[in-house]
Structure 1
Amino acid sequence: MISKQRQILHMILLHTFTAGFALVMMYPLLWMVSSSLKDTSEIFVHAHQLIPSTFKLDNYSNGFKGFAGISFAVFFKNSLIVTILSVIGTVISSVLTAYGFARIRFRGAAIWFACMMTTMMLPSEVLTIPQYILFQKLGWINTFKPLIIPSFFGGAFFIFLLIQFLRGIPKELDESAKIDGCGLFGILARILLPLLISPIITVAIFKFYWTWDDFFSPLLYLNSPKLATVALALKNFSDPTMQTDWGALFAMSVLSLVPVVLVFAGFQKYMVDGISTTGLKG
């Protein structure tokens, strides 16, 4: 009886702590959603109140009008173009590179693999100036090319993740496919790709998050307001020299999270499976 009471008390304490911790983690998001429904004059005066005194739904319509005559629909379109093409490029290049390292024997493979892993240790700030000079000489500044084309050359983290998964797949499957007449690309397309669905979706989700939320790269390479992504547009929406419509700004911030939430909700299962199975098989 005493043991059962202790177990119940333990469960109550555990759920209370979990709920409290979840509330702390969710509070910034709840505050942003609440602020998107408040009048600008009320946001910081009654910042502690999550329930607005009056719901101002026109913050969303006002915010969607954008600024400088450019609607936020343009910024969402720009972000979708950059993000989707970057995801496609990263997935294709990372799968091909990982397949080469994991399944194909070639001279200097260990050296090239070490060089690839070394790039993971380089801070991105170290590469900023050389990359900018390179893209400037190529005439890519103020275009989407610096944000998209590098993705078609893979990413060390994603390649390593896929390599670890491929190493857990028995090579006997490759040998059986060779007997049936499959070449290298046939083995990849018919045998390995169906087994790589979970890690590929994991790669796509991470790349989607990082590209959609990226602020520094668009700030560095995009000068025209019409080319701005959502992250950059949100920064430009606030004007320190004039009165900022904070309600509209928070409304657009809430809308900017919608694609991220939808992707996470739709592919969460694959992401968890991809990470867990990669760790087990690595």
Structure 2
Amino acid sequence: MRSFQPKWIIYHVLVGGFVLLLLYPVVWLLMSSFKVSEQIFLTADHLIPDPFILENYVQGWKGFGGYSFGVFIKNTAVFVFITLIGHLISSALIAFGFARLKFAGRGFWFAVMIVTLMLPYEVVMIPQYIIFSQLGWLNSLKPLVVPAYFGHPFFIFLLVQFIRTIPRELDEAATIDGCNTFQIFYRIILPLITPALATAAIFSFYWTWDNLLGPVLYLNSPSKYTVSMALNMFLSNETVSNWGAMFAMSIVSLIPVFVVFFIFQRYVVEGIATSGLKS
């Protein structure tokens, strides 16, 4: 009888309607990828393609400059993997230092790190470009991946809060057993912060995969373009934009995002909501 209560019905109707509202842009994008490019916006109010074509996917996958879209996906995958590893390693080590080690000015430097969360990228964009230009790192992945190995403020904050929930008695017991500081981190802390690391990895994947401004600044050769840059190349201010091919490759680029989300979505909740130890 509980399943037929009015509150239950109203709740699910509202939630279902909200889900449809959120999914409609994605469905519209998918359907538009099968339309003739010239008719996409002329028939924007019609969801079903008429005629239904696959040519947009063929043209989009051909890419441009002699490079197929598969090259751009591979470049992005390499970019994401290297950046993700840097974020996890550096952020975990820095977070352990803030949460467990005592050093002069720890509170001050932690506050400075938190302040950088509110610092827009546009503020440091030009100084960083000048530095990387002088180092000769332009048109390479170095300006995009090297900073990841110096920690990410959001991930550091997340991991610090997670580590603080782990009882210090575990550290003391490990010290009695002869573990040094690094062994405590590697053997005790690191296994317990796996949910938080998984959360950081998911966010790092999303933010890096969608990153457009960074690659646009530092990458000049089409052979090194990422997915976001390749999608942008389908648009033109001088000739007719190939909206169909761009929408088709947008769907292709969304596949890894959806796969990662559906496989690892539970880690997002665990990493943010759970404590370091479970009873």
TM over 0.5: yes
Q: 2:270 aligns with which of 270, 273, 278?
A: 273
Partner of 1:170: 167
Partner of 1:82: 79
How far did residue 42 of structure 1 move? 2.6
- Read off the aligned partner of 1:217 and give its amino acid letter: G
- Read off the aligned partner of 1:152 and give its amino acid letter: Y
> How many Å separate the matches in 2 of 1:57 and 1:202?
37
Q: Deviation digits for residues 10-33 of structure 1, max 9, x if unmatched? A: 222222221111111111101100
Partner of 1:250: 247
Please state whether the residue corresponding to 1:139 is helix, strand or coil.
coil
How far did residue 55 of structure 1 move? 2.2
* Gapped regions of structure 1 (runs ≥ 5): none
Partner of 1:146: 143
Query: Are the equivalent residues in 2 in contact too, given 1:95–1:159 (CA < 8 A)?
Result: yes
Partner of 1:214: 211
Q: Deviation digits for residues 55-75 of structure 1, max 9, x if unmatched? A: 212321221100121111111
> How many Å separate the matches in 2 of 1:220 and 1:250?
24
Stretch moving more, 48-57 or 162-171: 48-57
Query: Are the equivalent residues in 2 in contact too, given 1:99–1:188 (CA < 8 A)?
Result: yes
Partner of 1:39: 36
Please state whether the residue corresponding to 1:143 is helix, strand or coil.
coil
Please state whether the residue corresponding to 2:5 is helix, strand or coil.
helix
How far did residue 9 of structure 1 move? 2.3
How far did residue 8 of structure 1 move? 2.3
- Read off the aligned partner of 2:229 and give its amino acid letter: L
Distance 1:192 1:147, change over 3 A: same
Query: Are the equivalent residues in 2 in contact too, given 1:97–1:154 (CA < 8 A)?
Result: yes
> How many Å separate the matches in 1 of 2:67 and 2:228?
15
| RMSD of Structure 2 on Structure 1 (CA) | 1.9
Aligned residue-pair number: 278
Partner of 1:52: 49
> How many Å separate the matches in 1 of 2:8 and 2:115?
46
* Gapped regions of structure 2 (runs ≥ 5): none
TM-score scaled by structure 1?
A: 0.93
Query: Are the equivalent residues in 2 in contact too, given 1:161–1:278 (CA < 8 A)?
Result: no
Q: How does 1:126-205 map to 2 (within 5 A)?
A: 126-205=123-202
Partner of 1:24: 21
Q: Deviation digits for residues 102-133 of structure 1, max 9, x if unmatched? A: 11111221222122122112221111111111
Percent identity among equivalent residues?
52
- Read off the aligned partner of 2:125 and give its amino acid letter: T
Partner of 1:115: 112
TM-score scaled by structure 2?
A: 0.94
- Read off the aligned partner of 1:63 and give its amino acid letter: G
Partner of 2:231: 234
